[in-house]
Amino acid sequence: MRQENLLIQRLREYGNSDMYPFHMPGHKRKNIEGFSDPFKVDITEIEGFDNLHHPQGLLKESMEWAALAYGADRTRYLVNGSSSGLLSAICGSLPRGGRILISRNCHKAVYNGIFLHQLRASYVYPQEIPGLGIQGGILRSDVEKALSRYMDTQAVLIVSPTYDGVVSDIKGIAEAVHRAGLPLIVDEAHGAHFRFGEDFPASALDLGADVVIQSVHKTLPCLTQTALIHMKCKRPGGGAYVDMDQIDKYLSIFQSTSPSYLFMASIENGIFQMEKMDINPFMKALGQLRERLGEMRHLQLVTERIKGLFGVFDLDRTKLVVSTGGTGVTGAWAGGSA
């Protein structure tokens, strides 16, 4: 019989240490107002708190507010992570057995969706960035070639930004995809913050994507497992590329029937904090840090010099990507994990 709760003990030790987290989630272990005692606010669907699977009150109002903040026609809170959003977007946008064109660097949830919906997959590959050991972007021309080759394609899914902050030409890709009469789904898991700063890349939702999935726990001060799915159909010129109600149907399948109100409150609070935040001091400090890191003699900071090359349309400057290329050591060794 155990004499102590090992996981809780290990988490407590880590939380009380001076170890600074350069990992997700975005709240970086800082206390969030109202969450000091999560057990007091961990509830179920009681009167006055609405139902995520049939929102009519409080949650409906909250998600409509979130949609306005992101410029979406419909936004849904995800309590099963971006994975549930990707699965729902795929199954809700294609018939079973259809064909989807995806970027080859997709999250495994995309491949799970292909498996579950018995889809046929075609691939478009990201460019390679020599010497840095990271992927570049997806070229519009490659998407057009793939669509010409696979005429039975029924939807396109692209990852942008990548984990390393590389943003593809989503506007150009969206134009090509829409010209083929198809919906564009963008896995923007690492770009939930784009909407909240002029110095950030533009969000895929503003560039023509029809469905955008974001992991708010990655870059916003939100709890692990929280995410958003945005849908946008009302564009100039008409043409609804996605069936939002169909995607909603699959959200009810892939999301828990016991959604955590802690998670949903965390999502709402994260967006609220970003909306009221003065981003300028952060960007100033970030610029100073990037300038100092750019002076490293042996390690190489990935900078905006790669924009316009290797399919890199834009770069998220908040991602501090340091390459060990040319040093004779690996990143794992330099990070002390070897």
Closest CA relative to residue 231, chosen from 102, 78, 50: 78
pLDDT in tens, 120-166: 999 999 999 988 889 999 999 999 999 999 999 999 999 999 999 99
- Cα distances (Å, whole numbers) of residue 313 to 77, 132, 135: 29, 17, 13
Q: How far apart are CA 258 and CA 260, in angstroms?
A: 6
Can you read off the two tokens belonging to residue 274?
A: 């970003």
Burial class (CB in 10 A: 0-12, 13-18, 19+), 171: middle
Residue ranges, the chain, pLDDT below 50: 338
Cβ contact 298:327 at 8 Å = yes
Q: How far apart are CA 25 and CA 220, in angstroms?
A: 8
| DSSP codes joined into one string, 182-231 | --EEEE-TT-TTGGG-TTSPPPGGGTT-SEEEE-HHHHSS--TT-EEEEE
pLDDT in tens, 33-55: 667 778 888 888 999 999 999 99
SS3 string, 226-258, reads CEEEEECCCCCCCCCCCCHHHHHHHHHHHCCCC
What confidence score (pLDDT) does residue 288 get?
A: 97
Q: Name which CATH class applies to 46-274.
A: alpha beta
What confidence score (pLDDT) does residue 338 get?
A: 46
Q: How far apart are CA 122 and CA 85, in angstroms?
A: 21
Stated pTM of the model = 0.91
- Break the chain into its structural domains and give their ranges: 46-274, 280-332
Helix (H, G, I), strand (E, B) or coil at 120: strand
